[in-house]
Amino acid sequence: MTTKPSAGERLAQGRRDDSARRRQRVLKVVNQLAREGGSVSVSAVARGAGVDRTFLYRHPDLLAHVHALAAEPPPNPGKGPTVSRASLQADLLAANARSTRLAEQIRQLEQRLSEALGEQVWRNSGIGPPSDIDRLQARITELEQQNLDLHLQLDERDEELNAARTANRELTKTINHETGRTT
């Protein structure tokens, strides 16, 4: 004697059957898109199969299948080599990096040009320093060094003079002390 399934069991079986039908529709749409070379994406597959995108996200095997096909190049018979999504993304990253480098280089060149033009305008306007400013700067540096050398020489002579004075005082003191004893 077979028992009649309960309402809960019939409901669960109905869900499983519905899920299986949806899976079949999803697989059919995925394979069709892959054959025709259409854009394989979660949205396109869900729209084509008449299911919600969350259905694909609840079934990781279907989602992985969609992502795997999306990464493969579309069939392109007789038209030469095909490109993959990964190679296009790598090319895009490289192009973005190059663009960033070039933008930085352009910014640096614009800065240098701005400085050069500003310097030229400053000189041409007459408010800039004289054209022989480098010679004057060198002469100032030379005179500052000469001044420093003279200060060092003066300090050495002051020390020598102080040492001579100290020695003179000591000698005078010694002579006066000896002369005071003999008298």
In the chain, domain spans? 12-75, 84-128, 133-183
pLDDT tens digits, 29-40: 888 887 877 777
pLDDT band (50, 70, 90) for residue 78: low
Burial call 122-159: b when 16+ CB within 10 Å, e when fewer: eeeeeeeeeeeeeeeeeeeeeeeeeeeeeeeeeeeeee
Who has greater pLDDT, 38 or 138? 138
Scanning 37-132, the segments in alpha helix (DSSP H) are 42-49, 53-58, 60-71, 85-125
Distances (CA, A) of 65 to 17, 43, 55, 58, 93: 21, 14, 14, 13, 25
pLDDT band (50, 70, 90) for residue 10: confident
pLDDT of residue 95: 95
pLDDT of residue 8: 84
Q: What is the pTM of this model?
A: 0.39
Distance CA 23, CA 29 (A): 10
